[in-house]
Chain A
Amino acid sequence: MQHTISILVANEAGELSRIVGLFSARGFNIETICVGKTLEPAWSRCTIVTYGDDRVIEQIIKQCSRLARVREVRAVTRLPHIEREMALIDVSVKAGSERQEIMNLVKIFRAKVVDISHEKMILEASGHWQKVDTFIEMLKPFQINEVTRTGCVAINRLSPFEQSLEAKA
Chain B
Amino acid sequence: MAREDEKVVMTSVANVPTVVKDAAQPVTETLLPSAPRGAEILVKGLIKNGVDTVFGLPGGAVLFIYDEIWRFRDEITHYLVRHEQGAVHAAEGYARATGKVGVALVTSGPGATNAVTGIATAYMDSIPLVVITGQVPSTMIGTDAFQEVDTFGVTLPIVKHSYLVRDVRDLEAIIDEAFQIAKSGKPGPVVIDVPKDITAQLCDNPRRIHAEYLFENKEEPIDETTLELVVERLINARQPVFYVGGGVVTADAADDLMKVVETLQVPVTPTLMGLGGFPTAHALSLGMLGMHGTYAANMAVSESDLLVAVGVRFDDRVTGKLATFAPHAEIIHIDIDPSNIGKIKKAHISLVADAKTALRKIAGKLENADKAKISKGKAKRESWWNKLNDWRDSVPFSCEYSETEIKPQHLIEELYKVTNGDATIVTDVGQHQMWAAQFYPFKRSRQWLTSGGLGTMGFGLPAAMGAQLACPDTQVVAVVGDGGFQMTNQEIITAIQYKIPLKVIIMNNGYLGMVRQWQEMFYDRAYSEVDLSISPDFVKLAEAYGAQGLRAEKPEDLRRVLEEGLSFKGVTIFDIVVSKEENVFPIIPAGQDTRNMILK
* B164 contact set on A, CB distance < 8 A: 13-14
Cross-chain contact B156 with A68 (CB below 8 angstroms):
no
* A13 contact set on B, CB distance < 8 A: 164, 166
The docked-state distance in angstroms from the alpha carbon of A111 to that of B43 is 59
* B161 contact set on A, CB distance < 8 A: 67-69
A21 CB–B CB distance under 8 Å = yes
Shortest CB-to-CB span from B398 to chain A, Å, is 41
Cross-chain contact A18 with B156 (CB below 8 angstroms):
yes
Cross-chain contact A68 with B181 (CB below 8 angstroms):
yes
Within 8 A of A (CB), among B321-349: 337-339, 341-343
Type the 1/0 row for B146-164, where 1 means its CB is closer than 8 Å to any CB of A.
0000001100110011101
The docked-state distance in angstroms from the alpha carbon of A22 to that of B152 is 14
The secondary-structure label for the interface of chain A is: helix
Which listed segment binds B: A55-63, A92-100, A154-162?
A: A55-63
Shortest CB-to-CB span from B554 to chain A, Å, is 50
Shortest CB-to-CB span from A75 to chain B, Å, is 14
Within 8 A of A (CB), among B192-236: 209-210, 213-214
A71 CB–B CB distance under 8 Å = yes
Type the 1/0 row for B361-394, where 1 means its CB is closer than 8 Å to any CB of A.
0000000000000000000000000000000000
The docked-state distance in angstroms from the alpha carbon of A65 to that of B213 is 14
Interface size (B, Cβ < 8 Å)?
A: 21
Cross-chain contact A59 with B343 (CB below 8 angstroms):
yes
Cross-chain contact B166 with A66 (CB below 8 angstroms):
no
The docked-state distance in angstroms from the alpha carbon of A22 to that of B161 is 12
Cross-chain contact B343 with A65 (CB below 8 angstroms):
no
The docked-state distance in angstroms from the alpha carbon of A110 to that of B152 is 45
With A42-B209, A68-B214 given, is the CB distance from A17 to B156 under 8 Å? yes
Chain B residues engaging chain A, CB cutoff 8 angstroms: 152-153, 156-157, 160-162, 164, 166, 177, 181, 209-210, 213-214, 337-339, 341-343
**B337: nearest chain-A partner, CB-CB:** A66
Closest 6 CB pairs of A and B: A62-B339, A68-B161, A25-B157, A21-B156, A62-B338, A68-B181
Within 8 A of B (CB), among A15-62: 17-18, 21-22, 25, 42, 55, 58-59, 62
* B160 contact set on A, CB distance < 8 A: 68
**B216: nearest chain-A partner, CB-CB:** A71
Cross-chain contact A10 with B156 (CB below 8 angstroms):
no
The docked-state distance in angstroms from the alpha carbon of A42 to that of B212 is 12
Chain A residues engaging chain B, CB cutoff 8 angstroms: 10, 12-14, 17-18, 21-22, 25, 42, 55, 58-59, 62-63, 65-69, 71
The docked-state distance in angstroms from the alpha carbon of A101 to that of B337 is 57
* A21 contact set on B, CB distance < 8 A: 156-157
Q: Can you name 6 A-B residue pairings with CB atoms under 8 Å?
A: A12-B210, A13-B164, A21-B156, A25-B157, A59-B343, A68-B177
Most buried by B among A14, A21, A71: A14
With A13-B164, A42-B209, A71-B213 given, is the CB distance from A66 to B181 under 8 Å? no
Shortest CB-to-CB span from B445 to chain A, Å, is 25
The docked-state distance in angstroms from the alpha carbon of A68 to that of B209 is 14
* B157 contact set on A, CB distance < 8 A: 21-22, 25
Cross-chain contact A17 with B342 (CB below 8 angstroms):
no
The docked-state distance in angstroms from the alpha carbon of A159 to that of B360 is 42
Cross-chain contact A58 with B342 (CB below 8 angstroms):
yes
Shortest CB-to-CB span from A54 to chain B, Å, is 10
The docked-state distance in angstroms from the alpha carbon of A28 to that of B426 is 36
The docked-state distance in angstroms from the alpha carbon of A21 to that of B154 is 11
The docked-state distance in angstroms from the alpha carbon of A55 to that of B157 is 22
The docked-state distance in angstroms from the alpha carbon of A59 to that of B339 is 6
